[in-house]
A and B are shown apart, each in its own frame.
Chain A
């Protein structure tokens, strides 16, 4: 503390070092995926983007199953988003606005379900879906992903609704609003960004989930499932391109959700 500038410099240096550790791999995967096949075969690999090309990416996108898998991923992701909100938002509202017997056990149940490994669900679910004809459909994967996203959706939306004080609803009702009007005009506008964050969370969870999607499908692969199941017999260039295709949405998601990150992963976990 005697030399504040030295301390600030040390902090800055540490921050830069950590940032390099986090950012350099992302730079490298982008570099690899945007290099031509020919330059990927060179050794040593060029470390600067001197030879950019869309060849590797377009080859990846043209490989069998990638575009359908991409569409499946989109469909499952949106399905998960809608279903988890439909089921989760009312429960979040109940947790935020009511005290009821069974509230504590219900919350504990939610937390417990987060402790269940995905494998435990996927293997028996495959059997259940086989007998019910849902196996190898995007619906099966949607159901699984909704189950995985639901506890978080409930907890996030509960936190969001708690953030809109009941006083405000009451004020709206004093000044002439019906309960429904109060909800629509006062609660919804304030809760919307948070609920949108919960929706994005569900989508990203679905977009990233690979094990369950692989086990529950044969032909209707999602993108990660497609990449994983063809991993062992595909060239490195394909894998790098797949890696970038999976990383890009993450950058976008985190950029959009910066404000809500702490709420989503931090506060609601307690």
Chain B
């Protein structure tokens, strides 16, 4: 058990001009599960490999459990790892594969047997201990890789896209199992994935990476709900957050948003941005939608905007609508059975506290307090 502290890591590969990780700092508390997530090429795997000791940083430090391991080879870091390709040894039986780390550390035979057995039980591999990897299914190989990683009782468990080679159903099932397992073990875990759903569901905290930097780190809900930049909102969530530009205008003392020809009520703190454009971000599930025209004329509820339905996608638990509002395409989540067909008109609105605002120039979230 140990915490991981990464300070100012910089890494540039010889062949490329830009930095794979650009001055990254990160702290993972003892027993915490942190997920690094981001599109391919964002530096998440490089960061993980520098913690593992498989890459040497150009500058910066890695501490594990208070020990500076920056210059140590992987074998002396007391870390353990699950590889994307599993990297289990094809010429060894499952038993030897799982026990490899213990054998390397000269654990005595009985102890080794006992621990291999226990790990095999945890991952339901007891019946396969004497098989070769070639005789296992993909899911079983995955389990062997995980068993090999947990059997050594490492300080830190590193996982590099461990689920990406499984098919969708198995991935979902094993994700749950993995979460339970890691929780039981309580090992500090750093987990890399490009799958935002995986990141959200597994991590105590999620670090969204982009271009060699950590764009935002926080609990899954915080990062999902209050993205620091447009990129984070657009990366997390399925569907991603909707973005559209709007003008802030004051009506009396209250700020309002002008979207096309409609006006939406805006939260009070937007007053400071009067007469400027902002980028509005809103999640599909935070948009209210109705098929009945709201009563018109004086006394009508304000803030409903008409939009034209383009695509209707029932997902079972909901109906996902793609609508055109003014010139912007939005994804809207409607309740199941919502009566809409392409080219219908529907009405939308959103509670002011559900709207997020970004600077159209920098794409960063507007300071709202």
Contacts and interface: CB of A to CB of B under 8 A. Distances in A.
Direct contact of A and B (CB under 8 A): yes
Contacts of A99: 15
Contacts of B84: 167
Interface stretch (B100-108, B220-228, B356-364): B100-108
A189 to B, nearest CB: 5
Contact of A186 (B74, B89, B148): B89
A177 B103 CA distance: 10
Interface string A95-122: 0000100000000000000000000000
Among B52, B84, B91, max chain A CB count under 10 A is at B91
A171 B104 contact: no
Interface string A198-238: 00000000000000000000000000000000000000000
Contacts of A54: none
B119 to A, nearest CB: 13
B100 A175 contact: yes
Contacts of A175: 75, 80, 100-101, 104, 148, 152
B90 interface: yes
Nearest to B52: A174
A58 interface: no
A170 B89 contact: no
Interface string A166-190: 0110111111111001000010011
A177 B87 CA distance: 14
A173 B80 CA distance: 10
B151 to A, nearest CB: 9
A46 interface: no
Nearest to B99: A175
A165 interface: yes
A194 B171 CA distance: 35
A225 B145 CA distance: 55
Interface in B43-82: 52-54, 73-75, 79-81
B83 interface: yes
A173 B81 CA distance: 10
12 contacts: A168-B87, A170-B54, A170-B74, A173-B53, A173-B74, A174-B75, A175-B100, A175-B148, A176-B152, A178-B73, A186-B89, A190-B90
Contacts of B100: 172, 175
B165 interface: no
B135 interface: no
A50 B74 CA distance: 70
B104 A190 contact: no
A167 B83 contact: yes
B85 interface: yes
Contacts of A176: 75, 101, 104-105, 152
Contacts of A181: 104
A190 B101 CA distance: 19
B90 to A, nearest CB: 7
Given A170-B83, A173-B73, 16 more contacts: A167-B85, A171-B87, A171-B89, A173-B53, A173-B54, A173-B75, A174-B79, A174-B80, A174-B81, A174-B101, A175-B75, A175-B148, A176-B75, A181-B104, A186-B89, A190-B90
